[in-house]
C-alpha cells in the first residue's frame, strides 16, 4: 500500500516560508532519511501538512515509523483496494494492522464471486448469496439443499449475518467488497 504525505519544515512553515514537498511512502529508509534532511534539516522539527491515505495521519507523526508500518503492511499480500476497504471499515490504523498481522478479518470481492449472476437482484440479496457461496452462512446447521435455493430470502440472510457477524459492504474504485473484523 502506498500513501502520500506533504512534508515540510515546521519553523519555516510558521514563518511563512513554505519549503515542503509530496512524498510517496513506503520508500527505502536511507532515501527517506536523505529527503527528510533536505526538507526539514538536522535538529529541526517537521510537519505533515496534508496526506492522501485511507487512514488519519497526524501533523507530527513520526514518518520513519509510518514508513516501516507501510512496509510491513505491504508484506501482507493484500492488494491496495482490499487494504483501502479494511481501512474504510475501521479507520483505526493500529487495529487494522493488528487484524492483518493476526489474520482476524475476512474480505470478499463481491463482484468477482457474483460475476455472471442476475444483475437485477438487489445488493443485499447478492451479498447474502455471496456469503452463502463463500461458506460464511452460519445461520443453518446444514447446507441449503439445491432444490431449496430458489426459496431462500438471501437479503434476509445478509441482514442477519451483517448484524450477527459484522459484515459490511465497502465500495473501492467501483468494486464492492464484504468485510468483517
Question: Contact 132/139 with Cβ under 8 angstroms?
Answer: no
Q: Contact at 8 Å (CB) between 169 and 177?
A: yes
Spatial CB neighbours of 155, under 8 Å, sequence gap ≥ 6: 122, 124, 125, 127, 128
Tell me: do 113 and 71 sit in the same domain. Answer: no
CATH of the domain at 64: 3.10.20.480
Specify the DSSP element, H or E, that contains 11: helix 10-15
159 with 137: CB under 8 angstroms? no
Please state the pTM of the whole predicted model: 0.79
> Domain count of the chain?
2
C-alpha cell at 1: 500500500
What is the 8-class DSSP label of residue 176? E
Does 88 fall in a domain?
Answer: no
- Is position 33 within any domain? yes
> pLDDT per residue over 32-86, tens digit each?
999 999 999 989 999 999 999 999 999 999 999 999 999 988 888 888 899 999 9
| Alpha carbons 53 and 37: distance in angstroms, whole number | 23
Which of 53, 75, 97 represents a domain boundary (last residue)?
A: 75
For 79-130, write each residue's pLDDT tens digit: 889 999 999 999 888 999 999 989 899 999 999 999 988 778 899 999 999 9
Which range of residues forms the domain containing residue 54?
3-75
Q: Do 20 and 8 touch, CB atoms closer than 8 A?
A: yes
For the stretch 120-175, pLDDT in tens is: 889 999 999 999 999 999 998 888 888 998 899 999 999 999 999 999 999 999 99
Q: Is 47 part of a structural domain of the chain?
A: yes
Model confidence band, residue 18 (pLDDT cutoffs 50, 70, 90): confident
> Is 80 contained in some domain?
no
Amino acid at each position: 500500500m502506498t500513501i502520500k504525505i506533504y512534508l515540510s519544515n515546521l519553523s519555516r512553515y510558521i514563518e511563512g516560508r513554505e519549503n515542503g514537498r509530496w512524498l510517496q511512502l513506503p520508500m527505502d529508509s536511507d532515501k527517506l532519511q536523505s529527503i527528510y534532511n533536505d526538507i526539514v534539516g538536522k535538529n529541526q522539527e517537521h510537519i505533515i501538512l496534508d496526506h492522501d491515505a485511507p487512514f488519519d495521519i497526524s501533523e507530527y507523526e513520526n514518518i520513519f515509523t509510518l514508513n516501516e508500518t507501510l512496509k510491513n503492511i505491504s508484506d501482507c499480500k493484500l492488494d491496495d483496494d482490499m487494504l483501502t476497504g479494511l481501512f474504510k471499515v475501521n479507520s483505526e490504523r493500529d487495529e487494522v494492522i493488528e487484524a492483518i498481522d493476526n489474520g482476524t478479518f475476512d474480505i470478499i470481492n463481491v463482484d468477482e464471486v457474483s460475476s455472471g449472476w442476475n444483475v437485477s437482484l438487489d445488493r443485499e440479496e447478492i451479498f447474502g448469496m455471496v456469503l452463502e457461496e463463500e461458506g460464511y452462512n452460519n445461520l443453518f446447521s446444514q447446507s441449503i439443499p439445491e432444490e431449496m435455493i430458489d426459496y431462500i430470502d438471501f437479503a434476509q440472510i445478509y441482514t442477519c449475518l451483517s448484524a450477527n457477524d459484522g459484515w459490511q459492504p465497502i465500495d473501492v474504485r467501483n468494486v464492492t467488497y464484504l468485510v468483517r473484523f
